[in-house]
C-alpha cells in the first residue's frame, strides 16, 4: 500500500482546483504573495533558517497584541510578516530600512511620472 495517492497527480480536476475549493483565495493582495514567496525562497536557498523568520514574526505579532485590542481593524498578518522579514534582513546586514525607504521614494516618483504622462 505504498503507492502515492492518484488524486495528487497533476490532472485538471485534481490538485489545481484545490486551494480554492474552500472558497477562499490564499492571499488578499498581490504584495502579500510576493512577501510570502520572497521570504520562503530565501530560506530555501539557505540565506537563513525559516525558524529565524518565525521567531521575529512571533515577536511582531506579540508586540501588536500587547498594544491593540484583538478586534482592532488594523490587523494585517502580512504587515507583520513583512516587518519580520525586514528585521531579519537588517540583522543579517543584507538590507536596511533606509535603503528601502529611498527605493520607495524612487518607485513612487516613477509611478507619479507615469501617471502624469498618461494625462498629457
In the region spanning residues 7 to 36, those forming contacts with another protein, defined by CB under 8 A, are 7-8, 10, 14-16, 18-22, 24-31, 33-36
Greatest Cα pair distance, the chain, in angstroms, is 68
C-alpha cell read off for 102: 529611498
Considering the rule CB under 8 A, would residue 6 count as an interface residue with another protein? yes
Work out which of 11, 12, 46, 76 binds another protein, going by CB under 8 A: 76
- Give the cell for residue 71: 478586534
- Report which of 116, 41, 115 is spatially closest to residue 85, judged by C-alpha positions: 41
- Among the listed residues 11, 12, 46, 65, the single contact to another protein using CB under 8 A: 65
Amino acid at each position: 500500500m505504498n503507492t502515492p495517492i492518484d488524486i495528487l497527480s497533476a490532472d485538471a480536476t485534481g490538485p489545481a482546483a484545490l486551494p480554492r475549493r474552500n472558497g477562499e483565495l490564499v492571499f488578499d493582495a498581490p504584495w502579500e504573495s510576493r512577501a510570502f514567496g520572497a521570504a520562503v525562497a530565501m530560506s530555501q536557498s539557505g540565506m537563513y533558517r525559516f525558524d529565524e523568520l518565525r521567531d521575529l514574526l512571533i515577536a511582531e505579532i506579540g508586540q501588536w497584541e500587547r498594544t491593540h485590542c484583538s478586534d482592532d481593524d488594523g490587523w494585517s498578518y502580512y504587515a507583520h510578516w513583512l516587518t519580520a522579514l525586514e528585521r531579519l534582513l537588517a540583522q543579517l546586514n543584507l538590507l536596511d530600512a533606509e535603503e528601502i525607504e529611498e527605493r520607495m521614494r524612487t518607485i513612487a516618483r516613477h509611478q507619479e511620472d507615469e501617471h502624469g504622462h498618461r494625462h498629457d
